[in-house]
Structure formats: C-alpha cells, structure tokens
Amino acid sequence: MKIKHIDMSIRIVTIALSLLLCIGCSEEEVDRYDTSLSALNIWVGTEAGAVYESVNYNYSYAYEEGSVTFYVQLVGMPANYDRSFRLESFGGDSASVAPTVRTEDYVIPAGETKGTYKVYFNTQKLPDPDLFTTSDGTINFRMVPNSEFAIGNEHYQQFQVVLKNYLAKPANWDSANYPRVPLSKYFGTYSKVKYQFMIEHLGLIDFEINYNARTSYDEETNVVSASYAIYLQQVMQRALNEYNSSHELPLTDEFGLPVTF
C-alpha cells in the first residue's frame, strides 16, 4: 500500500511540474511578441487584398475632381485612440501634376486595423490641358513614416497611378439602332465638358440605353433601361443646378455655350 501511495505522489508531482513548464512556455511566447510594432501596408487593387502594380486615372473622366481608391492594413495591434498618416507623391510626372493632387490627413480610428481611402485629382488644375492626351504619365505614392507608423511589408509600401487625359465621344450619342436609344434623347447635344460632368456624377462610361432592358442597370453589360435613363437625366439636372448655384459662373462647354440637360 505504501508503494502505491509513493507512486501516486510521484505522478502528481510530475503532472504539476509539466503544467508549470507549459505555463512558463506560454508566457515566454507572449512576451516575445512586440505589441508596440505598428506599420501600415498600403496598396491599390481590391479591399480583399489583391494587389495591382498600378491603377489608371483619367483626368477626362471628371470635370473638376475625381479620385483613386487605395487600401490600408495595420501590421501590429490596434490602438485605443485615433491615429493619422499622410502620403507623399514622388517620381514619374509628380512635379508637373502636383497642383492637381490632393491628399488628406488620413485617420485610422481607435480599435480599427484597416481602412479605405482616396487620393484626389483635379482636372481644372492641370497646368497644360493637353497633358497625357497622347501618351500616359505616372505618379507614385508612399506613406510618410511618423511616430505612430513605420512603412509596411515589401510589395505594400507604395503604389503607382497611371495618368491619362483623353475622352472619346460615345458612338451611340447621336444615333443607335432600335431597341437601343441615342444618349442625346436624354442628355442633349454632346460636348466633352458635358460628358465629363456626367461621368463625374453618374460614374458611367460608354453606357447604352435599351428600351427592352428588364433591369434599371445591368453592370455586366453596362446597359440601362429607358425609365432609368429618365432618372439619370434628373440626377444630372440636379447636379447642374447645384454646380451653377455654388459657382460664380454657370457651367459652360468647350465652345463657351451653357451646359444643359
């Protein structure tokens, strides 16, 4: 009986020592993780993490200001307070297009680990309206390290924007074969300024209007119904009224004529 008692005591001591060793190992692993590490991965592509080498921006797709979306993912632990970061442009045609570029004091809110942000480009501030009409330009952006954030992992430290500035008149503006409808039926006489203004507010490029369309807008085919086209016309009329009421001069096209819808 004594032998069994001693054997059982040895087992209990062994188990207790094993538990202590495991606890010690866990504590050591946690202590090795640097919770003070904070860096930012930035990229263009998709929010899910697909990284593109570059993204296009066409100045002609906005009469005034358009944007490019980029994404940010925190490397490290979230903070219990808001933290900000900035971008800087470099390389390519950054010097010549600097007046057109607007960035912000971007903020990662307390407790957050990722975000979606924008860089803005203003067509009206191009030093030469013919820039990038015959050949593309480029501009690069990277995060400016600060006391809160270091630069991110390789391939997530900067992104490039390819700059374009040309716009073709849609082939279906003045005529279209039934059941397609000419854009002019709803949006009037074509001008580059008018089309830029439409793209800026509708986000639609080279779309079609179809009498037989069963849905308001089919993203896959870029086709809108006739009834939805009436709604889009009303959207543009409101946008034009807002523009004219907030600017000293009404919106005019490249020929000096007032834009109407």
Token pair recorded at residue 7: 């054997």
What pLDDT, in 10s, does the model give residues 102-160?
A: 999 999 999 999 999 999 999 999 999 999 999 999 999 999 999 999 999 999 999 99
Return the pLDDT at 6. Answer: 45
pTM, rounded to two decimals: 0.76
Beta strand segments in the chain, E: 38-43, 54-58, 65-76, 83-90, 101-102, 106-108, 114-122, 137-144, 150-151, 158-164, 180-181, 208-210, 217-218, 223-225
Instruction: Give the C-alpha separation, 231 to 217, whole Å.
Output: 11
In the 8-state DSSP scheme, what is residue 14? H
Residue 6 burial by Cβ neighbours in a 10 Å radius (0-12, 13-18, 19+)? exposed
Predicted local distance difference test score (pLDDT) of residue 58: 96
- Look up residue 42 and give its DSSP letter: E
CB 138 within 8 A of CB 54: yes
- How many C-alpha atoms does 170 have within 13 Å on its Cβ side? 23
* Position 235 pLDDT exceeds 90: yes
Q: How far is CA 24 from CA 12, 31, 35, 43, 254, in A?
A: 18, 11, 19, 40, 75
Question: What is the rounded CA–CA span in Å between residue 208 and residue 226?
Answer: 10
Q: Are 107 and 149 in contact (CB under 8 A)?
A: no
Q: Which domains does the chain have, with CATH numbers?
A: 38-164 (2.60.40.2030), 180-246 (no CATH)
pLDDT for the residue 14: 43
Least confident of 20-24, 108-112, 128-132, 202-206: 20-24
Query: pLDDT averaged over the chain?
Result: 89
Short-list 213, 204, 209, CA closest to 236: 204
pLDDT at 48: 87
Kindly state the average pLDDT of the residues 33-42. 75
d(CA 219, CA 191): 25
